[in-house]
Amino acid sequence: MIAGVCTGLAAHLHLDVRWLRVAFIAAAVLAKGTGLLAYLAFWALLPLDPHEASTAHPRTRGLGALLVTSVLAVVGIVTLTALGFTSWLGTLLPLILGSLGIALVWSRADEVQRMQWRREAVGLARDAAGDGGRREAWPLVLGAGAVLTAIVGIALTRVDVGTMLQGLATTLLLIVGLLLVAFPWLNARWRREVERRAARARADERAEMAARIHDSVLQTLTLVQRHADDAPQVQQLARAEERELRAWLYGEPRGAVAFAPLLERAAHEAEARYGVTVDVITVGDVPVDAPVEALLAAAQEAMVNAARHSGAPSVQVYAEVEPDTVSVFVRDRGRGFRMEDVPTDRAGVRESIVGRMQRAGGSATVRSAPGAGTEVALLLPRGRTA
Partner 1 sequence: MKAADALRVVIVDDHAMVRAGVRAELEGVVASVAAADGVASGIALVRAQQPDVVLLDVHMPDGGGLAVLRACQDQLGSTAFLALSVSDAPADVIAAVRAGARGYVTKSIAGPDLVDAVARVANGDAVFSPRLAGFVLDAFMGEAADADEELDRLTPREREVMRLLARGYTYKEIAAELVLSVKTIETHASAVLRKLQLSNRRELTRWATARRLA
Burial call 130-153: b when 16+ CB within 10 Å, e when fewer: eebeeeeeebeebbeebbeebeeb
User: 57 burial class (0-12, 13-18, 19+ CB within 10 angstroms)?
Assistant: middle
For position 320 contacting partner 1 by CB under 8 A, the verdict is: yes
Least distance in angstroms from the C-beta of 338 to partner 1: 20
Contact stretch for partner 1 (CB under 8 A) within 94-102, 161-169, 277-285, 336-344:
277-285
Of the candidate spans 28-36, 79-87, 199-207, 315-323, the one that interacts with partner 1 by CB under 8 A turns out to be: 315-323
Between residue 49 and residue 108, which ones bind partner 1 under the rule CB under 8 A? Answer: none
Which of these ranges, 39-47, 197-205, 314-322, 346-354, lies near partner 1 under the rule CB under 8 A? 314-322
- Is there binding between residue 316 and partner 1 (CB under 8 A)? yes
Smallest distance, Å, CB 139 to partner 1? 47
271 touches partner 1 (CB under 8 A): no
Q: How far is the CB of 330 from partner 1 (least distance, A)?
A: 9
318 is a site residue for partner 1 (CB under 8 A): yes
According to CB under 8 A, which one of 18, 206, 226, 246 is a site residue for partner 1? 246
Burial class, 73, CB count within 10 angstroms (exposed 0-12 / middle 13-18 / buried 19+): middle
**Could you give the CA distance from residue 60 to residue 52 in angstroms, rounded to a whole number?**
10
Cα–Cα distance measured from residue 140 to residue 142, given in angstroms and rounded to the nearest whole number: 5
DSSP state of 48: S
Query: By CB under 8 A, is residue 195 in contact with partner 1?
Result: no
Q: Alpha-carbon torsion 111, 113, 115, 121, what sign?
A: negative
Q: Which amino acid is at 35?
A: G
Helix (H) or strand (E) holding 318: strand 314-321
Return phi, psi of residue 365, to 5°: -125, 135
Query: Of the two residues 79 and 310, which places its CB atom closer to partner 1 in the complex?
Result: 310
Instruction: Determine if residue 292 is left, alpha or beta; phi over 0 gives left, psi from -120 to 50 gives alpha, anything else beta.
Output: alpha
- Shortest approach of partner 1 to residue 99 CB, angstroms? 58
CB of 325 to partner 1, least distance (A): 12
CB of 283 to partner 1, least distance (A): 5
Contact between 250 and partner 1 by CB under 8 A: the answer reads yes
Contacting residue, 108, 268, 331, 356, with partner 1 by CB under 8 A: 331
Name the site residues for partner 1 (rule: CB under 8 A). Answer: 246, 250, 279, 281-284, 316, 318, 320, 329, 331, 375
